[in-house]
Structures are given as C-alpha cells and as structure tokens.
Amino acid sequence: MKKLTFKGGTHPPHSKKATEKLALEKANAPKIVVIPMQQHIGAPCDPIVAVGDEVKVGQKIGEAKGFVSVPVHSSVSGKVTAIEPRLYSGGTKVTCVVIESDMQDTIHESVTSKGSLEALSADDIKNIIKEAGIVGMGGAAFPTHVKLAPPPEKNVDTVILNGAECEPYLTADHRLMLENPEDVVYGLQAFMKALNVSKGYIGIEDNKMDAIEAMEKAAQGKEGIEVVALHAKYPQGAEKQLIYACTKREVPSGGLPADARVVVNNVGTAAAVAKAIKTGMPLVERIVTITGEGISNPKNLFVKIGTSFREVIEQCGGFKGNPQKIIAGGPMMGIAQFNIDIPVIKGTSGILTLSENELQLSDPLACIKCGRCIEVCPIGLLPTKLESFSSRNMLMEAENYHVLDCIECGSCSFICPAKRRLVESIRLGKAQVMAEKRKAKA
Amino acid sequence: MEHGNLVVSSSPHIRSKESVNSIMYNVIIALLPATVAAIYFFRLRAFLLIAVSIIAAIAAEAIILKIRKKPIAINDGSAIITGLLLALTISPAMPLWMAVVGSVVSIGIGKQVYGGLGSNPFNPALVGRAFLIITFPVQMTTWINPIDGLATATPLGLQKMEGIGTGYLELLLGNVGGSLGETSALLLLIGGLYLIYKGIIRWYIPVSYLGTVAAMSLILGSDPIFQLLSGGLMLGAFFMATDMVTSPVTKKGQLIFGIGAGLITIIVRLYGGYPEGVLFSILLMNIFTPIIDKYAMPKIYGEVKSK
Amino acid sequence: MGATYEFYKGLWKENPVFRMVMGMCPTLAVTNAAINGVAMGLATAFVLVCSNIVVALIKTLIPSKVRIPAYVIIIATFVTIADLILAAYFPDIQKVLGLFIPLIVVNCVILARAEAFASKSNVRLSILDALGMGIGFTWALTLLGIIREILGMGSIFGISLFGEGYISWIIFILPPGAFLTLGLLIAFFNAFSKNKAEDSCCH
Amino acid sequence: MELLLLFISQVLVNNFVLARFLGICPFLGVSKRTEVAFSMGLATTFVMTLSAIATWLVQNFILIPFGMQRFLQYVAFILIIASLVQFVEMFLKKTSPTLYQSLGIFLPLITTNCAILGLALLAALNEYSLIQSTIFGFGAGVGFTLAITAMAGIREHIEFSDIPAAFKGVPITLVTAAIMAMAFLGFSGLIPM
C-alpha cells in the first residue's frame, strides 16, 4: 500500500498506547449540563429557552444567528436552571444554558429519521446538517454546512475525510473508525452528494492499521470512495497537509481548501452527519479521549455536550500523582486550562492531564540556529525569523516572511532544542499583522 | 481532588527530548575517538594542549559572562567544544600559552563580543585558530611526527612543497604529521557519521563539501582520495562547517555553503600560499552565511499559485 | 562656547578617530608602527590647519554651489605641498605612508571641518578648531601605532623592548590587527564614557 | 590570463577594503542593510571602472606629456573623479530614473570615497596599461562590493543579538571586519604579485 504524506513535519511520540485498545464507553449521565451558546467559529447563538423551561434531549435551545453559525441543542432532558455567562475551554466566559437533568433522557419529538440518503437532495442534506448543529469535530469547530456550500466557480471535485488523528494521545477518531466505520462511510456519501462530487478519500495514518482495514471493509463496493494510508507524521491531519498528501494539490496562500477543489471534514463529523440523517438526533454527544500520565484510568468516552471536565475526570478515577497541565484537545494544538469546572463542547476531542515528565518544562535558551524548526515547518516558513520579527513588533518583515501562512501546528516549538516558544510569538505576530490589515482596510 | 497550581501556557504542550545540551554533548562524544587518537599519537603534549585549551575556554567564558553580569551558563557544553576543536586544530609542538591565547580569542572575539551562544557569525574555534596561524605562523606550522617525535611536515605540505605523497592507509589511521585532530581521517569520519546517524547534523554540508573537493581535485588533476583524507578536511567538514550557529539554516543554503567551502579549500590548497585551506574556507563561508540564509529560502506551501 | 572649547573638543569629546569615527582609512592603514602614526597625524594636521585657514578666509568669495569642489582643490593643493615637503626632508616616511598621503585629500575629517566649521567661522576659531582636531587625530593614530608596534614587533618607535626572545604577534601589524585594535580600543573608550562612538563619516 | 589574475587579485587577495584599507568609510557607514550595501557597491564599481579609464587618459595624455604629474596629479585626479561622479549622476537622472533612484543617493558619497582616488593613484603608480587599469578598477569595485555586502549581511544578522553595550555599533563592526580580514588572508600567496 502506498503511504502518502507532505513535506516537513515532525514525529512527536504517539503516546496513544494507553487508550487505543480501549473500546468506547458511555460516560455516566451528568446531573447538570452547562451548554455554551458558542461552541463553533462564527456568530454565537441566541438562547430560545428561558429559566424554568422544561427541555428534552435533542431540543433546540439556541438559534443560529447568521450563515456562519449553527444551532445548539440540549443533551439531556430536564429543567433550565440558569442562563448566564460561564467559563468555557476557550478561556473566556460565554453565555451558557444550564440544565438540570431529570435523568430520564426523554427524546424530543423533533428527533425523527430523515429518510434514506437516496431520497434526499443536496440542499436537504445541507439543511439537516445545519439544523443538527454539526461542526468540525477535529477541534476547530467550523460549521460544517458552510464548508458544504463553496462558491460554484471553485469546481470542488473531491471530499476528504480526515481520519489521520495526528495529534499524539488522542484516540477518539481511531476508536470511532474501528467501532462504527459504516457511519463514517455513510457521512462521506452524504458529503459527496451534498457537494455533487464523485471522489472521496478517507485518510488515515499508518499507525492505525486496524482502522484502515475496518474502513476499507466498510467502504468496499462504495463507488468513488478510497481509503488511503498516510505516513504517521505530525501534522498529517492539518487540512492543507492532508489535501497535499491525498491529491498533491496545494491550497494557495491565503486561500481555502475549495481553492484546491477540495472539501475536508473530520471522520467524527461524518459520523455525526450519519446519525443526524438516520435518527434525526442532532449533535449532543461526542467522543472524548481522556488520557495522560496524570489520570488514573484513561478512557475513550461518549460524553454529552455540557458535561463538566471534573465529572469526566472523576469517572476516569481522578487524577494520578500531580498533573501539571490540563488540556482541552491534543498536546500540540490544544488549550491549557486553569479550571476543570468547564463543559465538554462540540470541539473537545480530548482531555489531557499531563505530568511533569511529559511536559518537559524548561526555560527557553538562545536560538542556536540549528534549523530544525525550518526543517519541520509543514508550510516551509522560517519560524526562527518569524519569532524574532514578531517579538520585536516588526510586523512588515513578519508579513513579508509569510507569517499569515502559519497554521500554528506547533511543530517548530516541539522540535526546538533551545525550547523557545516559537508558535506563541508567531501567533501573536500573526494576530497583530491581521489587526493592522483590518485597520488599513477600515 | 482540588487542583490549584495548573500550568497554563501556549501550545504545543509537549517538547522533543533533544536539547541544546544533548546536541553539544553528542558533538563532544563524536570528537572523542579523534581526541583519544591525538593523545595516543602525541602523548602528554597532546593531553596538556587539549586540557589547557578546554580549561582556558571555559574560564574565559565564565569570566566574560561574569563581567557582563549574565548567568554563567558554561554547562551548555559549547565552550568545551570550542576549546576542544581549537586544540584539535593546533600543532602538537605549540607552546601551551599560545593555546590559551587561542582559546581566549575564540571565546572573547569569536563569541562573547557578539552576545554569546547563538549570536556569533563566525565559528569561535576557527576565529581562534585563524588568529593563531596569522599571529604565530612559525609555531603553528612546526609539525612533529607521531612515531618518532621528530620534526616533519604535514602530508599536504610535503605534497605541495616537495611533491612527496603519503599513503592512504597512513592518512586513514593517522600516523602522519599534522594538527592534533587532523591526523586520522578514519576516526573523524566515524565521529561525523555518528552525528549524522544521531540526527544532530544533516548530511548536506559534509557531503557537498567533500564532494566538491573530490570533484574539483579530479578536474584540476590532483588525487581526490589524497585530498579528502589529508589535512583538516574531515575535521572541518563534519565538525566545523556544520556548526549550526554559523552555517545556513536551510538545506539549499547548506548545500551552497558546502560547495563554496569545497571550492575555496581546493583553490587555496592547490594555488594558495598556505598548504591548507579548510580553516579559511569555512571562515570565508561563515562570512557569507547571512546572505545565503537571506536568499536560500524553502519553498512555501501554496506560494506558487498565489497571485 | 569659548574659543578654548573649539580647541579642546577635538582632543577628546569630538575626537575624530575615537568618537566621530572619521578618517578611518589612514587610521587603519598606517598605524602598524608608532612613528608612522605620528607622521600621518602631523601631515593631516598640517593640511587641516592650512585648509581651514584658507577656507575661513575666502568663504565669502565662493559660491555655495561649487564650494565642495573648491574645498577639495584647496585641500589637494596643501596635500601636494605636504607630500613634496615630506619627500624632500623625510623620504623614508614619505615612502612608507605612500598612497595615504595623497589620500589625505579625501580624508573626511578635513572636508568635514572645512564644511562644518571653517566655512562658518572666523580665522582664529578655525585655526583653533583645526589644531584641536589635528592633535586629536595625531594622538589617536600615535596611540594605535604604539599598541600595534609593541604587540606586533615588540618595539616602540623602533626601539626593541623585550629583547631577542620575544615572539611577535604578527597579526597586529597586518590588516586584521588594525581592525581589531581599533575596535577593541573604541569599545574600551565606550565602556568608560557616557556617549558612544558614532559613525559620522558618511552623511 | 594575466588580466584574470589581476582581477582575482583585486577581489580576493588584495581586497581594497580588507587588505588595503581603502573605502573604509562606506564599508563602515553604508553597511547596515544588504540591499543598500549592494547598491552602494554597484555604484562604486561603476564609478571605479569609469574613473580608472578617465584618470588613465588624463595621466598619459596630459599630465605625463606636460611633465605635471608630480605637482598636479592629486588636484587633477580628484577633479576628474568629482566631475565624473557629477556627470554620472546627471546621466542616470536623464536616462534611467529607476537606476538613479537606487544608486543616486550614493553618488555624492563616492567622490570622497578614498578607494576611487586610491585606485587612480595606484594604477598610475603601477604604470598599468589602459586595459589593465580598467580591469584593476573593475576588480577593485567587485572586491569592494563583495566586502560591503557581506558585512551588511552580518550586521543584519547580529542586529538583534545581545551585544555588550560597549561593543555596539562601531566596535563590533570593526571586530567583524578584523575577522573578515583574517579569513581573506587565506587567499594570500594565491597570486604572486
């Protein structure tokens, strides 16, 4: 089998052993869920329930505002006890609907099967996806229906499902592909139909051979669908790198995947779409990998949106030793948390509790110009230069050296022997350059 | 299970195991075979020169850092490498105090005036060695034979001045006249390959450097194998030209660097006033490293099709 | 500012070599021995004084458009005189300094003084300014020459200091030693003064 | 072949800046940015080549025949160079505004660049032929460009370094020049002069 890949990249330890063999389990039902009205990139939702209202599972509780936005649904049945700003994993406070569960899990009447895929039109599919509140489940949480509506002149001809799961530690997608490959393929077919394309790839890193086999079996006989093995290398699952690996096309600088005639979705997203079409159940639950040396019993769990990190961690036997860092997402791009009383949201792919040993915290030293960061940069940037410009506020130089093309994958910081905080500075420089550009436009 | 002191910092949250220290100590390990050989061939004299150079380099670094009121970070191993490399490039007949001068110049002029580790545009050991050979040309080019301890010339010198060749085997094993560390090509090669195997250095510079020397000597009618095995070429190609701080950062840049150094080396060897050109060639390419870096950039993803 | 200040400033505060970093070519080129430094310094001082006097005298007569070429001709004339005098009385030194005597013509110290000072001041002040600058230039070159000669040849003004056994540090009488000695000296002076040396030659 | 050697000698062995101390002022003063330094080098090379030719003509057709080289050489040469620079400036302004934009600002500086006068005097001293003078001037210019561009590259490179305060600016530039000069000494003996 051919192994596809991209230029650059790095090999962080996979650290997936603890959970890759653990079958998915259902998390304990939460007594209280805190559901943020913004779990996606784009405009936040308006709550459409009031304190004291009774809600059911799958009932819409937040209405989308604008095109780049999706509605939010209740993950339990019970009573709304509060609507107020609460801390979430983005690090800030957002409006949340707090629901006290009646532990009945009564399903809302709107949740019914949407019929067979053959019977649905492309617009039907897009509408179902939007109404089901589906966003990219890989972590970025971009509304999926927006991706399915590229401008027609882009001539999109390929859909890629991202099953690379290149982030170390995480095994949520891996388990999904092993245990429910049919839904993944079904979702991909829905995407292909919605976009009217005939070519679909499912890209999976070669450290998950069992998942590749399972997916191949499920895709057998499905026209136009090809499962491809990808070289296990970080960031194989980054959109641009995945597109290059599968199609050898490059997304132009500053452009979108559609400019390379491709739409990319996560395998988890595909499964969520399958569920929404087959059962009508919107996105109210997701798979979360809870792992790291700082947790007693690592697990892959189906967790209801709105369940607090604390409850999930407790279900995994609580902390082991003295974890130094709690991360929402993977270790390369996830966000460190200072509080575990925050809800699991649509984009929460993992909860990592890392020990001191795993973190290797150390102070940055002077750059010795080893060039490692340049070697690993999947975009071909000069991170050391960008860091230097960004930290000195030399925005013009930073822009000239393509700071805006940085995908913030963290490969450079990971590899740096001097332990410099490259991405951190570059991210800042990037934000400043973008702010300047907006100012110049205004 | 309350948790108070969580570390909150920017991603990525994991780091590779490689550190500046591990790089430096691997370089030292790779230099050990040649160092041991130097001591085997030249006995106490070699040991003293090496020890004095290293101690002087560390002391100079510590004292300057102290004067500059900076943390005395001598455990990063870089001063040890500078001292060791310098010692390996000087003649076994050198007075000890000159080695001290070389180390102090290396660390002082070559490194600390530029702000210390990572900032110096020139390889510190080479600055020290260039200073020594220009300042004390006689002492720097008085060689002794490792076998009998008598005065002799280096294989390159013999070839250039008197047209006397030296056997490949002798060059490989190192029982020839020359600087402490440039006698045995084989041991240096082993050390260099170790560094490439460990991923500390890339092959681009050594291969393009050695390849250029071999190709050019063939074109210019000199024995390529002799040119490869003699003088400080192996030491230079694997341990000095590959100095990360002073060589280009990109693959393209490193290839240009190696080819340039190779060209200069062979020109100086065949036509120049000095019998050996490795030192000057690398120092000269150090001069142009910033410019190479400026123009030898990697291809950026998605750049071609952008407007 | 008093007249004495115009004289003193050249010695240290606005020393052309160590503070203003001007006239670098002769400073670096001829200071491999102390005596050369002295000779070069004095020759430059001579031209400086003479041209400052003439420029101050005729400043009103020169149209401002052609003033720079006019200054250059004045300076070149005095350089020729200095060259001929040296050739007549000190032929050895004239030979050693060689090219760098005619190059006094384009020494930015002289042109800068003519342009920045003599063209705006009276003759008395111009002489004081030129003397100060000239002496400042001379002592700087002499100091450099002394240091380089001691290190590079073990002697001072040609008198051997350490006897036969001294191993010369040859680099100091070669080009790299010139750059190095001047660089270290300016750094040394920087460390002990409030303002840093500024490169003011090419403006 | 002899001309090629003359050229190489001027670029590498007897580099005007690093071995002969000519043109130090712009070497120290106009070497902060690579692009600017390179333009300065180009402009200087251009003027050097032209003035090598012009001064040769004056030396051999006017000064020597009239026996005036002893007394009028300096004055004559500097006048030629000054007017040449002026002429080049006017010429560029008229014919190539873009080139004038990039090189123009350096032209006035070049008049007082001692490398130009030094070049004219050296060529006269060595009694070079016209073609030798031209190569000499061009080679010296290329050598100057090489040195000043490399210096600018290094200065850009060390711009953000934590250089000790006393060494910032002129001293570190001189130390760098010293090391560059050391490296260039490697070429000594390359060409028997």
Is residue D91 a part of any domain in this protein? Answer: yes
Chain B CB contacts of C153 under 8 Å are: none
User: Which residues fall within 8 angstroms of residue D65, CB to CB, at 6 or more apart?
Assistant: none
Name subunits touching C (3+ CB pairs < 8 A): B, D
- d(CA A310, nearest CA chain B) in Å: 9
- d(CA D162, nearest CA chain A) in Å: 10
Is residue D192 a part of any domain in this protein? Answer: no
Q: How sure is the predictor about A334, in pLDDT bands with cuts at 50, 70 and 90?
A: very high
Structural domain harbouring C122: 2-202
Helix segments in A148-208, DSSP class H: 172-179, 181-195
Closest among C157, C146, C173, C161 to C93, alpha carbons compared: C157
A226 and A288 assigned to the same domain: no
Q: How sure is the predictor about D192, in pLDDT bands with cuts at 50, 70 and 90?
A: low
Chain D CB contacts of B121 under 8 Å are: 154, 157-158, 176
DSSP state of B239: I
Out of D122, D170, D178, closest to residue C176 by CB: D178
Number of Cβ within a 10 Å radius of residue C161 = 11
Q: A286 CB near a chain B CB, below 8 Å?
A: no
> Which of B136-145, C138-147, D97-106 is predicted with the least confidence, judged by mean pLDDT?
D97-106
Out of B68, B115, B272, closest to residue D161 by CB: B115
In the prediction, which pLDDT does C66 show?
81
A128 and A224 assigned to the same domain: yes
Instruction: Name the one residue in this structure whose structure tokens are 């998390």.
Output: A27
- Number of B–D residue contacts, CB under 8 Å: 96
Residue A13 and residue B254: Cα distance in Å, rounded?
A: 28
Query: Is there a contact between D162 and B116 if contact means CB atoms under 8 Å apart?
Result: yes
- Phi, psi for residue D8 in degrees, rounded to 5: -60, -40
Angle at A384 between CA A378 and CA A389, to 5 degrees: 115
Q: Among D9, D148, D154, D159, which would you mutate to test the B interface (most chain B Cβ atoms within 10 Å of its Cβ)?
A: D154
In the prediction, which pLDDT does C203 show?
44
In the prediction, which pLDDT does A317 show?
94
A48 and A124 assigned to the same domain: no
Q: CA–CA distance from B123 to each of B81, B85, B167, C171 (Å)?
A: 11, 10, 31, 19
The residue type found at C107 is N
Mean pLDDT computed over B213-235: 92
C48 pLDDT above the threshold of 70: yes
Chain D CB contacts of A392 under 8 Å are: 160
User: Residue C22 corresponds to which tokens in the numbers above?
Assistant: 């001007």
In the prediction, which pLDDT does B141 show?
82
Surface of D (91-110) touching B: CB under 8 A: none
Mean pLDDT computed over B172-194: 86
Q: How sure is the predictor about C59, in pLDDT bands with cuts at 50, 70 and 90?
A: confident
- Phi, psi for residue C189 in degrees, rounded to 5: -65, -40
Span B44-101, pLDDT tens digits: 999 999 999 999 999 999 999 999 988 887 778 899 999 999 999 999 889 999 999 9
The residue type found at B158 is L
In the prediction, which pLDDT does A160 show?
96
In the prediction, which pLDDT does C1 show?
57
Chain A CB contacts of D160 under 8 Å are: 388, 392
Chain D CB contacts of B271 under 8 Å are: 190
Residue A100 and residue A34: Cα distance in Å, rounded?
A: 9
Is residue D128 a part of any domain in this protein? Answer: yes
Span C91-107, pLDDT tens digits: 999 998 988 999 998 88
Residue B266 and residue B269: Cα distance in Å, rounded?
A: 5
Residue C196 and residue C183: Cα distance in Å, rounded?
A: 13
Mean pLDDT computed over A227-253: 93
Mean pLDDT computed over C145-170: 90
Residues B268, D185 contacting (CB under 8 angstroms):
no
Is residue A19 a part of any domain in this protein? Answer: no
- d(CA A98, nearest CA chain B) in Å: 23
Query: Is there a contact between A380 and B6 if contact means CB atoms under 8 Å apart?
Result: no
How distant is the alpha carbon of residue A427 from its chain centre? 19
Number of Cβ within a 10 Å radius of residue A46 = 14
Q: CA–CA distance from A249 to each of A6, A8, A96, A258, D54 (Å)?
A: 11, 16, 41, 11, 59
How distant is the alpha carbon of residue A80 from its chain centre? 28
Question: Which residues, in sequence order, are bridge partners of residue B238?
Answer: none
Q: C85 CB near a chain D CB, below 8 Å?
A: no
Chain C CB contacts of D185 under 8 Å are: 174-176
Q: C124 CB near a chain D CB, below 8 Å?
A: no
A221 and A322 assigned to the same domain: no
Q: Is C36 helix (H, G, I), strand (E, B) or coil?
A: helix
Report how many domains make up chain D.
Answer: 1
Chain D CB contacts of B264 under 8 Å are: 186
A77 and A142 assigned to the same domain: no
Angle at C166 between CA C161 and CA C168, to 5 degrees: 100
Query: Is there a contact between A405 and B301 if contact means CB atoms under 8 Å apart?
Result: yes
Helix segments in chain B, DSSP class H: 20-67, 78-88, 96-108, 124-135, 137-140, 155-157, 168-173, 185-197, 204-219, 224-229, 233-235, 251-271, 278-295
Query: Is there a contact between B15 and A419 if contact means CB atoms under 8 Å apart?
Result: yes
pLDDT cut 90: percent of chain A above it: 83
Q: Is A392 helix (H, G, I), strand (E, B) or coil?
A: coil
Structural domain harbouring D13: 7-187
Fold of B20-296: Ammonium transporter fold (1.10.3430)
Q: Among D160, D162, D163, which would you mutate to test the A interface (most chain A Cβ atoms within 10 Å of its Cβ)?
A: D160
Domain termination site, one of A247, A279, A311: A279
pLDDT cut 90: percent of chain B above it: 62
User: Residue A140 corresponds to which tokens in the numbers above?
Assistant: 């970025």
Indicate the average pLDDT of chain B.
89
The residue type found at D35 is E
User: Which residues fall within 8 angstroms of residue B144, CB to CB, at 6 or more apart?
Assistant: B42, B91, B92, B93, B150, B151, B152, B177
Residue B251 and residue A382: Cα distance in Å, rounded?
A: 12
Q: CA–CA distance from B189 to each of B32, B178, B285 (Å)?
A: 12, 17, 22
A234 pLDDT above the threshold of 80: yes
A47 and A155 assigned to the same domain: no
Q: Among D182, D185, D188, D190, which would you mutate to test the B interface (most chain B Cβ atoms within 10 Å of its Cβ)?
A: D182
Indicate the average pLDDT of chain A.
93
Span D103-154, pLDDT tens digits: 767 777 787 788 899 999 999 999 999 999 999 999 999 999 999 999 999 9
D161 pLDDT above the threshold of 80: yes
Number of Cβ within a 10 Å radius of residue A361 = 14
Domain termination site, one of A262, A279, A296: A279
D71 pLDDT above the threshold of 70: yes
More confident residue, A181 or B41: A181
User: Which residues fall within 8 angstroms of residue A267, CB to CB, at 6 or more apart?
Assistant: A161, A162, A163, A173, A176, A177, A184, A187, A202
pTM, rounded to two decimals: 0.91
How distant is the alpha carbon of residue B21 from its chain centre? 18
In the prediction, which pLDDT does B231 show?
85
Residue C179 and residue D18: Cα distance in Å, rounded?
A: 9
Mean pLDDT computed over C55-62: 89
Span D56-65, pLDDT tens digits: 999 999 888 8
C197 pLDDT above the threshold of 80: no
Residue of chain A whose Cα is closest to the Cα of D158: A388
Out of B272, B279, B288, closest to residue D187 by CB: B272
Span A352-361, pLDDT tens digits: 999 888 887 7
A307 pLDDT above the threshold of 90: yes
User: Residue B79 corresponds to which tokens in the numbers above?
Assistant: 């001063």
Residue B8 and residue B11: Cα distance in Å, rounded?
A: 9
Mean pLDDT computed over D16-31: 90
Chain C CB contacts of B135 under 8 Å are: 169-172
Residue A73 and residue A94: Cα distance in Å, rounded?
A: 16
- d(CA B113, nearest CA chain C) in Å: 10
Mean pLDDT computed over A233-249: 93
3-state secondary structure chain D: CHHHHHHHHHHHHCCCCCCCCCCHHHHHHCCCCHHHHHHHHHHHHHHHHHHHHHHHHHHHHHHCCCCCHHHHHHHHHHHHHHHHHHHHHHHHHHHCHHHHHHHHHHHHHHHCCHHHHHHHHHHHHCCCCHHHHHHHHHHHHHHHHHHHHHHHHHHHHCCCCCCCHHHCCHHHHHHHHHHHHHHHHHHCCCCCC
Is residue A362 a part of any domain in this protein? Answer: no
A54 and A85 assigned to the same domain: yes
User: Residue A305 corresponds to which tokens in the numbers above?
Assistant: 């949106």
In the prediction, which pLDDT does D193 show?
44
Number of Cβ within a 10 Å radius of residue A254 = 12
Is residue A384 a part of any domain in this protein? Answer: yes
Residue A428 and residue A393: Cα distance in Å, rounded?
A: 9
Q: How sure is the predictor about B138, in pLDDT bands with cuts at 50, 70 and 90?
A: confident
Q: Among B141, B279, B283, B289, which would you mutate to test the D interface (most chain D Cβ atoms within 10 Å of its Cβ)?
A: B283
Angle at A218 between CA A217 and CA A222, to 5 degrees: 105
In the prediction, which pLDDT does B48 show?
96
In the prediction, which pLDDT does C60 show?
87
- d(CA B298, nearest CA chain A) in Å: 6
A134 and A153 assigned to the same domain: yes
Q: How sure is the predictor about A379, in pLDDT bands with cuts at 50, 70 and 90?
A: very high
Query: Is there a contact between A244 and B301 if contact means CB atoms under 8 Å apart?
Result: yes
Chains D and B make contact, 3+ CB pairs within 8 Å: yes
Q: Determine how β-strand B143-144 pairs with β-strand A350-354.
A: unpaired
Residues A8, A74 contacting (CB under 8 angstroms):
no
Structural domain harbouring A245: 112-279
A253 pLDDT above the threshold of 80: yes
Span A16-53, pLDDT tens digits: 999 999 999 999 999 999 999 998 888 899 999 999 99
A68 and A125 assigned to the same domain: no
User: Residue D99 corresponds to which tokens in the numbers above?
Assistant: 């080139």
A133 and A195 assigned to the same domain: yes
A35 and A98 assigned to the same domain: yes
In the prediction, which pLDDT does C199 show?
66
Question: Which residues, in sequence order, are bridge partners of residue A327?
Answer: A336, A352
Q: How sure is the predictor about B4, in pLDDT bands with cuts at 50, 70 and 90?
A: low
In the prediction, which pLDDT does D72 show?
87
Query: Is there a contact between A414 and B17 if contact means CB atoms under 8 Å apart?
Result: no
Q: A425 CB near a chain D CB, below 8 Å?
A: no
Q: How sure is the predictor about B306, in pLDDT bands with cuts at 50, 70 and 90?
A: very low
User: Residue A374 corresponds to which tokens in the numbers above?
Assistant: 């340049």
Report how many domains make up chain C.
Answer: 1
How many residues does this entry show for chain B?
307
Residue A226 and residue A188: Cα distance in Å, rounded?
A: 11
Closest among B125, B137, B223 to B182, alpha carbons compared: B125
Indicate the average pLDDT of chain C.
89
Q: How sure is the predictor about B304, in pLDDT bands with cuts at 50, 70 and 90?
A: low
A315 and A436 assigned to the same domain: no
Domain termination site, one of A328, A357, A386: A357
Instruction: Name the one residue in this structure whose structure tokens are 């936005």.
Output: A69
Chains A and C make contact, 3+ CB pairs within 8 Å: no
User: Residue A233 corresponds to which tokens in the numbers above?
Assistant: 């290398």
Report how many domains make up chain A.
Answer: 3
Mean pLDDT computed over A291-312: 95
As to burial, measured by CB atoms within 10 angstroms (0-12 exposed, 13-18 middle, 19+ buried), residue C60 is exposed
Residue D28 and residue D148: Cα distance in Å, rounded?
A: 8
Name subunits touching A (3+ CB pairs < 8 A): B, D
Q: Is A426 helix (H, G, I), strand (E, B) or coil?
A: helix
Query: Is there a contact between A418 and B118 if contact means CB atoms under 8 Å apart?
Result: yes
